[in-house]
Amino acid sequence: MSAQPLVIAVPKGRIQEELAPMFRKVGINPEDAFFDDAERQLQFACKDSNISLIRVRSFDVPTFVAFGAAHIGIAGSDVLMEFDYQDLYAPLNLDIGHCRLSVAQPEDLKDTDLSQLSHLRVATKYPNITRKYFAELGIQAECIKLNGAMELAPKLGLARHIVDLVSSGKTLKANGLREVKTIADISSRLIVNRAAFKTRSAEIGGIIERFRQLLEKGA
Ligand code: PRP
């Protein structure tokens, strides 16, 4: 075993709840602080293994892994689609973090047939996916990049449409919006730095295998 810990990047937020039991079942046992949301620490040791977990923003997980700062990561397929890093290998769909990436518009806007438009303005965290999706429909999307609270944009006249993640649909409803198109179904993937997979193949391959077996059993 190499002396340097194997670094796994984990996204902050909702996904942690679904990830914690999976980690336990594959033998990744973080120190207690990892489960404390109030904790300001960003890197966590694991009991009985040479693994270190880092907690980062979901959009930053592929960056840490692509540049080799982390060897492995847990990333949403939305983020992977948006950045399209070539240095990553995504061997497993972890079947957690299910949601949709969707187009939404004000509830009172009658016309839901976007194909009639030639141009539209969209507030989103996903400008690349959004431009590509609308370009394929022959629509030029002018994207206004926001990092959160997209749902405010239509009400305040920033953009009539938004592209964002939808899970229960409560956030859209609470902000007078409705989903009009699903761009993609989203779930979380295990991602690996390609170079690290070559240099530490036994350790990384072992972890992939443990997750694979867990998924085969139906988690
Ligand atoms: C996501 C997303 C929506 C919301 C949708 O944000 O950006 O705002 O969840 O979930 P719902 O359909 O169940 O209401 P999240 O709460 O993850 O926070 P973020 O804005 O920091 O991404």
| Segments in 30-119 forming alpha helices (H) | 61-66, 77-83
- Residues contacting residue 190 through CB under 8 Å, at least 6 positions apart: 72, 73, 74, 90, 91, 92, 94, 208, 211
Q: What is the pLDDT of residues 4-45, one digit of tens each?
A: 999 999 999 889 999 999 999 999 999 999 988 888 999 999
- Same domain assignment for residues 106 and 169: yes
- The structure tokens listed for 115 are 């194909």
Distance CA 81, CA 86 (A): 11
Instruction: Tell whether the model's pLDDT for residue 174 goes beyond 90.
Output: yes
Cβ neighbours for 172, distance < 8 A, ≥ 6 positions apart? 104, 151, 166, 178, 179
The predicted structure's pLDDT at residue 38? 86
Average pLDDT, the chain: 94
Q: Are 139 and 114 in contact (CB under 8 A)?
A: yes
Residue 126 lies in a domain: yes
**What is the model's pTM?**
0.93
Q: In percent, how much of the chain has pLDDT > 90?
A: 88
Size of the chain, expressed as the number of residues it contains: 219
Cα 133 to middle of ligand 1, angstroms: 21
Strand partners for 124: 145, 163
Residues sharing a CB contact under 8 Å with residue 144, sequence separation 6 or more, in sequence order: 121, 122, 123, 124, 153, 158, 159
Output the CA torsion sign for 67, 69, 72, 78.
negative
* Residue 1 within a domain: no
Does one domain contain both 89 and 191?
A: yes
Name the pLDDT band for 2 (thresholds 50, 70, 90).
Answer: low
Q: How far, in Å, from the CA of 82 to the mean position of ligand 1?
A: 17
Same-domain pairing of 86 and 144: no
In terms of domains, do 182 and 197 share one? no
Shared-domain flag, residues 69 and 112: no
Together in a domain, 92 and 146: no
Q: Residue 158 sits in which domain range?
A: 99-186
**In 10 A of CB 17, how many CB atoms?**
10
Residue 182 lies in a domain: yes
Does 113 share its domain with 176?
yes
CATH number at residue 191: 3.40.190.10
Do 22 and 91 share a structural domain?
Answer: yes
Looking at 153-200, list the stretches that DSSP marks H as alpha helix, in order from N- to C-terminal side: 170-174, 194-199
**pLDDT one-digit tens code per residue, 186-219:** 999 999 999 999 999 999 999 999 999 999 998 5
Atom of ligand 1 nearest to the CA of 169: 12
Residue 209 within a domain: yes
Q: What percent of the chain has pLDDT above 70?
A: 99
Residue from 14, 150, 167 whose mutation best tests the ligand 1 pocket (most atoms within 8 A of CB): 167
> How many angstroms does the Cα of residue 148 sit away from the middle of ligand 1?
8
79-107 pLDDT, tens digit each: 999 998 999 999 999 999 999 999 999 99
Into how many domains does the chain fold? 2
Which residue's alpha carbon is at the smallest distance from atom 1 of ligand 1? 165
State whether the beta carbon of 13 lies less than 6 angstroms from ligand 1: yes
* Ligand 1 lined by 170 (C-beta under 6 Å): yes
pLDDT for 53 equals 97
Task: Clarify whether residues 39 and 81 are in a common domain.
Answer: yes
Residues 63 and 163 both lie in one domain: no
Residue 165: CB within 6 Å of ligand 1?
Answer: yes
- Report the pLDDT value the prediction gives residue 13, as an integer from 0 to 100: 87
